[in-house]
Structure 1
Amino acid sequence: MKQSFFAQFAFLLVIIAACNAQTPSAAEQQNTAKSKAMGCDQLDGKQYNITLTTAGKVEGSEMLSFKNKTVESSECLKYGFAASSYTCGEALDGSLAIETVMTSEKEGRMDWKLSATGTQVRGSILWVKAGQADIAYTFEGPLK
């Protein structure tokens, strides 16, 4: 009798759990699919609206664009930092780990390290220029 009661009780708990399980809405399913990792070969054509900060202060916004296996920054182009090739690999969390070095004859170099998903990018930049202290930035922003 005790075994029968416990078996019925366990079965009832399984039924209750199944009935209470919620199916994600179509919007939730779409957001989950969009935020899933993409491959390095899928970066071309992606643009991210990024906001840069340094020492906790917002420095500005710009467009980070991937095309033809290079990356460029809309603001950096104005200072002679040309589009540069990048290295890309998959991180443990499924995002893409990307690194690049942008150089300018007059303004030095900017070392970029970033993590990108299908919906978001974030990372850091170190601006190195002769005659000035290095400046560290962080940034993040959504896919355009």
Structure 2
Amino acid sequence: MEDFLKLDKQLCFSVYVLHREIMQCYRPILKNIGLTYPQYITMMTLWEKDNLTVNQVGEILQLDNGTLTPLLKRLESKGYLERKRSKEDERVVKIHLTEKGTKLKEKATCIPLELAKAMHLNIDEIMELKTLSDKVVQKINQ
């Protein structure tokens, strides 16, 4: 009988190592545009839909306010976004891309292909891995 308590049999360990390796591939690519990975996914969220509240960004990225607020402050200090209190409700903070933040998207368009190249995978393989990953997450959250 196979010993399923061996580390090399563990899905969690394989996913953990994969995560670390992907982040290692991202690091030099993102360095070229001056972003960290959390900053990059935040900017992608805003490129997709601008003028979100802090809470909406947090929900999309699955980040709590304690993690998200310093991240947004850093992006604001770089000139990529502005945080403004809503006129309707002072408790609500809206995030707006600046012109500089919008233009950064042009520099970022090559990142997915550069990542695939760094991982020695083609786009179809990347999409296959993403599809399976999304399926697992969906099943866990049912």
User: Per the shorter chain, which TM-score range?
Assistant: under 0.3
- The answer to which structure has the higher helix fraction is 2
- The answer to which structure has the higher strand fraction is 1
* TM-score, normalisation: structure 2: 0.22
* TM-score, normalisation: structure 1: 0.22
